[in-house]
Structure 1
Amino acid sequence: MSFRDATPADAAAIDALFRTSFQATFGHLYAAEDLASFLAKFTVEGWAAELADPAFAFRVIEDAEGLAGYCKLGPISLPAEPQGPALELRQLYLLDRAKGSGAAQALMDWALATARARGASELWLSVYIDNHRAKRFYQRYGFEDRGPYAFLVGNHADEDRLMRLAL
């Protein structure tokens, strides 16, 4: 596996990976119309715009089959109350073939180093309340639960947990 910064040319591959990973992990939770409504908010053009925007930072992992995961940092969009300069870990997604490979740790290490390099004193994220594997992963890095957050997928509200790490 190799890691690199993403470019706007990766937009279509990131879009496909996001859709595949999200549906594989969470798709069973939603009515078809809610899932379709949620996924419609994501477009290749939208990804390309974020990839070109210096407020965002993306890192991808590739293997022999192509893109296997990515991580995205950006400005705070969550209803968080940062105490200083902060960034949000917006997404960290892996395809099944990359899970257990150390890719998640490498992407998280990059996210923490990048957030610090950009002057953030806090990193925020949200995680689905029943995604126990992800919650344990973030807790190992020192993220602390900061309360509930309603994450909308179409008209369906999931309970997510806001998590914060002081950098």
Structure 2
Amino acid sequence: MTDLAPPPAITYRDARTIDGPALSAMARRSFTETFGTLYRQSDLAAFLDEAFGANGLPSQLSDPDFAVRLALEGDKIIGFVKMGPVTFPGEWRPDAIELYQFYILGPWQGQGVAQTLMDWALEHSRAHGAKEIILSVYVDNHRAHRFYERYGFRDIGRYAFRVGETVDDDNLMRLVL
């Protein structure tokens, strides 16, 4: 009989510039697993390159306007949340912050990772003087809607989210802190 080592504990830390390639790979995997069947391959590839290529998420790790918190099992990134200035069209309060991306790989969903990352996002927002958090979520991502609603986020409108040439309907949601 062999002794099986327990899985490594999940740890959390702020992302560093050196995490760029691994974080990009994880984000691409998570988005593709969740939404990949909704898009033509060319649209998906264009979106992944724009959002997670060298000029996307990895470049924001050294930008002081953005904060990214990682969830890791051992040295493997299994989830992250990214916060920064609001970029949605329209007029927003100067003390608003945007929750850009909130991704957890499938095997770790339902394991408390999302709650820990959301707790950090709320704490980060308050510590930086934010009075509200704005985010968008795909209209048919019911699991995400339920998660955000449990924290008090409410729908405030629609947003056209572009994936390549495809335009999806997203719900804009707001949480007043």
| 1:156 pairs with one of 166, 171, 176 | 166
Aligned to 2:3: none
Answer yes or no: is 1:102 the counterpart of 2:83: no
Aligned to 1:29: 38
| 1:43 pairs with one of 41, 53, 75 | 53
Check whether the contact 1:80–1:162 (CA below 8 A) recurs between aligned residues: no
After superposing on structure 2, the runs of 4+ consecutive aligned residues of structure 1 that deviate more than 6 Å are: none
Secondary structure, in 3 states, of the residue corresponding to 1:124? strand
Aligned to 2:157: 147
Q: What is the TM-score of this pair, normalised by structure 2?
A: 0.90
Secondary structure, in 3 states, of the residue corresponding to 1:52? coil
Residues of 2 paired with 1:80 and 1:64: CA distance?
41
Secondary structure, in 3 states, of the residue corresponding to 2:58? helix
| 2:69 pairs with one of 59, 66, 74 | 59
CA drift at 1:102? 0.3
Secondary structure, in 3 states, of the residue corresponding to 2:61? helix
CA drift at 1:84? 4.4
The farther-off stretch of 21-30 and 33-42 is: 33-42
Secondary structure, in 3 states, of the residue corresponding to 1:139? helix
Aligned to 1:11: 20
Answer yes or no: is 1:129 the counterpart of 2:144: no
Q: What is the TM-score of this pair, normalised by structure 1?
A: 0.95
Secondary structure, in 3 states, of the residue corresponding to 1:77? coil
Structure number with greater Rg is 2
Residues of 2 paired with 1:46 and 1:152: CA distance?
15
Check whether the contact 1:144–1:164 (CA below 8 A) recurs between aligned residues: yes
Answer yes or no: is 1:70 the counterpart of 2:77: no
Q: What amino acid maps onto 2:70 in structure 1? A: V
Count of aligned positions = 167
The farther-off stretch of 144-153 and 65-74 is: 65-74
1:108-160: CA deviations, max 9, x gaps?
A: 01001001111111100000000000000000000010111110001101000
- In structure 2, stretches of 5+ residues that fail to align are 1-9
In the superposition, relative to structure 1, how do residues 65 and 56 fare at CA in structure 2: closer, same or farther (>3 Å)?
closer
Aligned to 2:7: none
Residues of 2 paired with 1:164 and 1:82: CA distance?
11
Residues of 2 paired with 1:101 and 1:157: CA distance?
32
Secondary structure, in 3 states, of the residue corresponding to 1:120? coil
The farther-off stretch of 133-142 and 45-54 is: 45-54
Residues of 1 paired with 2:43 and 2:58: CA distance?
24
CA drift at 1:82? 2.5
